[in-house]
């Protein structure tokens, strides 16, 4: 992922922004193939792949695995939006209509929450603790305000956040990766760009863009 010790924002150059469920499904299927090839260790491969897939992998053939969930229903997505009082940006909506959550992102983020678990960072126990800690230290005012207004869409040791007050001309919200132990949230122009950040420095870039 992006180097969290670097406070500069991530380049807005661009990553193609999938918005339709089919565009996301195509990308996520390629992501599964990329993950199996580049990230999974032997024990994880045994958990992810069946015997035929393992044999194909040993023969260095292309193997894909779905690391997500079933698509969210439109009514469940709308219910989540109503609960939060917002309409999700186009790329996040398309993502959820392709897969209601995702796993295997990186070592520090457990996965994208299902739409029903998306919440305001300020309302979650972990988010509230981080916000209160940063608020107690002078000089963190901008970060604290970001935490208080942002949605938490993924979390592990690090957070993935979306800021509904920072909207681009395409309707996409600014997205942030935030590692509490380093500080300095890293900004991305959209959820899609943040999602891509897990593999955008690998040799597989062109296959997944």
Q: What is the pLDDT of residue 106?
A: 67
Complete DSSP assignment for 96-109: HHH-S-EEEEETTE
Q: What is the pLDDT of residue 8?
A: 31
Residue 16: inside a domain, yes or no? no
The yes-or-no verdict on residue 134 having pLDDT over 60 is: yes
The residues facing 68 across adjacent strands are: 102
Q: What is the pLDDT of residue 202?
A: 42
Residue 81: inside a domain, yes or no? yes
The tally of domains found in the chain comes to 1
Show Cβ contacts of residue 22 under 8 Å, excluding neighbours closer than 6 positions. 98
pLDDT in tens, 94-131: 999 999 999 877 668 888 999 999 999 999 999 999 99
Residue 10: inside a domain, yes or no? no
pLDDT in tens, 155-167: 888 999 999 999 9
Q: 121: burial class by Cβ within 10 Å (0-12, 13-18, 19+)?
A: buried
Residue 3: inside a domain, yes or no? no
Residue 9: inside a domain, yes or no? no
Q: What is the mean pLDDT of the chain?
A: 85
The yes-or-no verdict on residue 4 having pLDDT over 70 is: no
Q: What is the pTM of this model?
A: 0.84
Q: What is the CATH number of the domain that holds 203?
A: 3.40.1580.10
Residue 110: inside a domain, yes or no? yes
Residue 1: inside a domain, yes or no? no
CB atoms within 10 A of CB 201: 10
Residue 124: inside a domain, yes or no? yes
Residue bearing the bigger pLDDT, 6 or 178: 178
Range of the domain at 78: 21-208
pLDDT in tens, 11-57: 444 456 788 999 999 999 988 888 888 777 888 788 888 888 888 88
- Give residue 73's pLDDT band: very low, low, confident or very high (50, 70, 90): very high
């Amino acid at each position: 992922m992006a180097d969290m010790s670097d406070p500069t924002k991530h380049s807005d150059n661009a990553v193609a922004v999938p918005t339709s469920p089919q565009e996301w499904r195509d990308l996520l299927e390629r992501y599964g193939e990329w993950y199996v090839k580049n990230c999974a260790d032997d024990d994880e491969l045994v958990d992810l792949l069946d015997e035929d897939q393992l044999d194909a992998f040993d023969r260095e053939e292309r193997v894909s695995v779905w690391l997500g969930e079933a698509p969210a229903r439109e009514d469940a997505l709308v219910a989540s939006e109503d609960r939060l009082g917002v309409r999700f940006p186009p790329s996040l909506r398309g993502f959820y209509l392709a897969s209601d959550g995702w796993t295997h992102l990186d070592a520090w983020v457990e996965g994208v929450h299902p739409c029903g678990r998306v919440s305001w960072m300020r309302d979650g126990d972990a988010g509230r603790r981080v916000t209160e800690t940063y608020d107690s230290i002078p000089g963190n005012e901008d970060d604290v305000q970001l935490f208080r207004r942002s949605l938490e869409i993924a979390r592990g040791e690090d957070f993935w956040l979306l800021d509904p007050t920072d909207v681009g001309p395409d309707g996409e919200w600014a997205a942030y990766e935030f590692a509490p132990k380093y500080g300095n949230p890293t900004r991305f122009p959209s959820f899609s760009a943040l999602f891509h950040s897990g593999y955008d420095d690998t040799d597989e870039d062109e296959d997944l863009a």
